Structure 1
Amino acid sequence: MIHGVILAGGKGERFWPLSRAEYPKQLLRLISSKTMLQETIDRILPLISSERILVVTSEDIVSPILDEISMLKRENILAEPFGRDTCLAIGLAAMHIRKIDPEAVMVVLSADHIIKPAEKLLEIVSIGAQIARDEDRLITIGINPTRAETNYGYIKMAEPYKVFGGISVYEVEAFTEKPKPLVASGYYYGHKHLWNSGMFIWSVDSILKAINSCQPETANALDEYAISIGTENENEAIRALYNKCDPISIDFAVLENAENVLTIRGDIVWDDVGSWNALERYKTKDQDNNVVIGDARLLNTYETTIYNDNDGIIVSLGVSDLVIVKTRDIVLVAHKTQVNDVRKILAELSKDDSMKRYL
């Protein structure tokens, strides 16, 4: 059967100060009236029932997730003691799924992406699942680039593998992480590269074999942990597992080294909603190209994103190209070209005990 694995452990730091440690981006209602996590679950429910969905997340936000997502039970959530990136998170989920369904196919999704139309994604997932059942393949979903984006990873397509009802599947030649602007422009105009969406499809057997081949120490640690699944020692064992393993992404750890990788060319709208600047791609703008969410009054303000999450109003006068965010205890004002540097501010705040309440 097909099982869904939703990676929901990120901190969403580039959406600070709205995204906070106790209530990160995946629990925010940034694009619609639903949380990003709920949107992701709803997207795959026509194909994967809720009891076959696993959410891998930080142990610190298990309770908020259960409060927000009523269809999820505690057994639907794998709680990480601390972050170790996607290789370990995916390996952990694979071990749990294998325990109940050794022949399962895993669909790995991120909790905080925009994908439209959902029906097209389900068609792509169904094709990937069909391949994963029949062959020892690691399948990525690549997205046709719509701009020369430097904040995304890229997949270089090799020779065609098959075409399923108009959806093309390719062998993978190479992965590139966050290229320089000139390189990204070449990828965009060259039509041989896809964005790496961070969505994957494979059998539990295939991904665990690949981790064993490419990251044997992690594989051994996962095997030791698996003995404890469902026992009273599980919480202690997962902490020991995470202490043993270094942080590394599934891309660096496995996909860049494996020789059995395919990519499905996804002709869909996809966005990782990576920072405040993403809102201008999906929210309605006023006549001066401003995005305004919450109470605000603007005069001679242009190309500015304003997000007011609290009482009172934001007043802007004679400014342009800014991001202005107001929460109950923080006001952020940043130029759009520097708003991604908010992580530098967070790094400074983390050094001061009196400031940690703002993280």
Structure 2
Amino acid sequence: MNIAEVHVIILAGGHGSRLWPLCRHDHPKSLLDLGSGETLIEATLRRALMITTSDRVHLVTGADHQESITTIGAAFGITSIIVEPIYKDTAPALCLAAMLIHQEHPDALIVSTPFDHLISGESSQWVDTLTQAVIDAQSGDLICVGVRPRSPDTTLGYIHAPDPSSPSTPHRARLFKEKPDRATAEHYLRTGEHFWNSAIMACRSEAFLQHVRAFAPSVIAAVEAALDQYGQPEAESWSRIQAVAIDHVVLEPAAAAGVVQVVPASFDWADMGTWDALATRAPALFAPENVVTVDGTAPAVFAHSDAPSTRYAILGIDDLIIVNTGDVLVITNRAHACDMKRLVATIFERGWGDLL
């Protein structure tokens, strides 16, 4: 890997509404510590510095969190903070970052990654996987890191990329499928031809922008139109950009065109996007000693340090997730935990803005 050419884009925007009420406007998901002693964004920065240098790491965040993200980045020697006036999902954010990087570094190869992943295993596994992605990205293709499914998870995106016919042939992505139903996810698991989409990508910056122009010309045109004379996004113009995910507008048509490859991850990976995932992968955050259950499965109970000392008695209900932050008590089940955004929207409509 030529480390001088590798630039890492870390997408650190959004509030993490699927983990409400723990995540709020003044305490986004990027600042969560899952019990490791470091926040999610700090862990992501540490991994980024395994594959490049601090002057080639770029944090993309919203105006609301610019101060906290800047402070965290500075502790790692990172000064490139790209600020979206308003969160517009991953396609505009990646276009903006890629354009700014390419202007200064025409030969840059970009690696983009979200911050809200739990990645474990030996550090060499992360480095080896990303090194292979960077090597493959020299071709000009979009390279996605895929994770072999461990279960029929219906909350994740999948990539159909059958095993190549020979070791020297890359995994070619054929199809992206977001959040399939249970039967489809079970089928994907049985075939062995599908990966979870980790949302970690690599591509030459020039090639990435070419792919966006080919498959999502309205997105890149809108981003270009929103930049001021200094090349920074102007708030009012940026607010008019449509919020769209890179998966839908670029990766899906690019896969159909045969220009997406998949590199299998050798590390253990989990998306920390829902309370169900959090309860499964970070059980130390939950407090079963305060729970009594009769005729039901033991619930996952998260009690914030601000919450009163509450004991929970559950009768005849399975798969509960209970979140107590002191000012609000949320009760749901694992099947609905991935749909927290609907509850947040209803809370907003109710006028309970102080909880958001």
Give the alignment's TM-score, normalised by structure 1: 0.87
Instruction: Classify 1:241/1:93 alpha carbon distance in 2 versus 1 (closer, same or farther; 3 Å).
Output: farther
Paired residue secondary structure (1:257): helix
- Offset of 1:128 from its aligned partner? 1.3
Instruction: Classify 1:339/1:281 alpha carbon distance in 2 versus 1 (closer, same or farther; 3 Å).
Output: closer
- Offset of 1:42 from its aligned partner? 0.8
The answer on 1:315 being equivalent to 2:311 is: yes
Paired residue secondary structure (1:256): helix
Match of 1:44 in 2: 48
Instruction: Classify 1:73/1:223 alpha carbon distance in 2 versus 1 (closer, same or farther; 3 Å).
Output: farther
Q: Give structure 2 stretches of 5+ with no counterpart.
A: none
Which deviations, in whole Å up to 9, do the C-alpha atoms of 1:284-305 show, x marking residues without a partner? 57xxxx9428xx6333475222
Paired residue secondary structure (2:75): coil
Which deviations, in whole Å up to 9, do the C-alpha atoms of 1:80-104 show, x marking residues without a partner? 1112111111100001111221110
- Offset of 1:75 from its aligned partner? 4.0
- Offset of 1:5 from its aligned partner? 0.5
The answer on 1:142 being equivalent to 2:140 is: no
The answer on 1:124 being equivalent to 2:129 is: yes
Match of 2:327 in 1: 329
- Offset of 1:243 from its aligned partner? 3.5
Instruction: Classify 1:337/1:242 alpha carbon distance in 2 versus 1 (closer, same or farther; 3 Å).
Output: same
Aligned mates of 2:35, 2:236 — CA distance in 1: 38
Which deviations, in whole Å up to 9, do the C-alpha atoms of 1:123-180 show, x marking residues without a partner? 11111112223x111100111000011111111114628748xxx8411111111111
Aligned mates of 1:218, 1:112 — CA distance in 2: 24
Aligned mates of 1:351, 1:318 — CA distance in 2: 30
- Offset of 1:190 from its aligned partner? 0.6
Which deviations, in whole Å up to 9, do the C-alpha atoms of 1:201-247 show, x marking residues without a partner? 0010011000111122222334445673xx3xx55x43255234322
The answer on 1:265 being equivalent to 2:234 is: no
Aligned mates of 1:151, 1:202 — CA distance in 2: 26
CA contact (8 A) 1:6 1:111 kept: yes
Which deviations, in whole Å up to 9, do the C-alpha atoms of 1:19-51 show, x marking residues without a partner? 002211121112422111111111121212222
Instruction: Classify 1:197/1:68 alpha carbon distance in 2 versus 1 (closer, same or farther; 3 Å).
Output: same
Paired residue secondary structure (1:207): helix
Match of 2:176 in 1: 175
CA contact (8 A) 1:4 1:108 kept: yes
Paired residue secondary structure (1:314): coil
Task: Give the % identical residues.
Answer: 27
Paired residue secondary structure (1:140): strand
Match of 2:214 in 1: 213
The answer on 1:191 being equivalent to 2:192 is: yes
The answer on 1:95 being equivalent to 2:99 is: yes
Aligned mates of 1:358, 1:29 — CA distance in 2: 21
Give the alignment's TM-score, normalised by structure 2: 0.88
Match of 2:339 in 1: 341
1:207-246 correspondence to structure 2 within 5 Å: 207-224=208-225, 228=229, 231=230, 234-235=231-232, 237-246=233-242
Aligned mates of 1:239, 1:250 — CA distance in 2: 21
Amino acid at match of 1:145: P
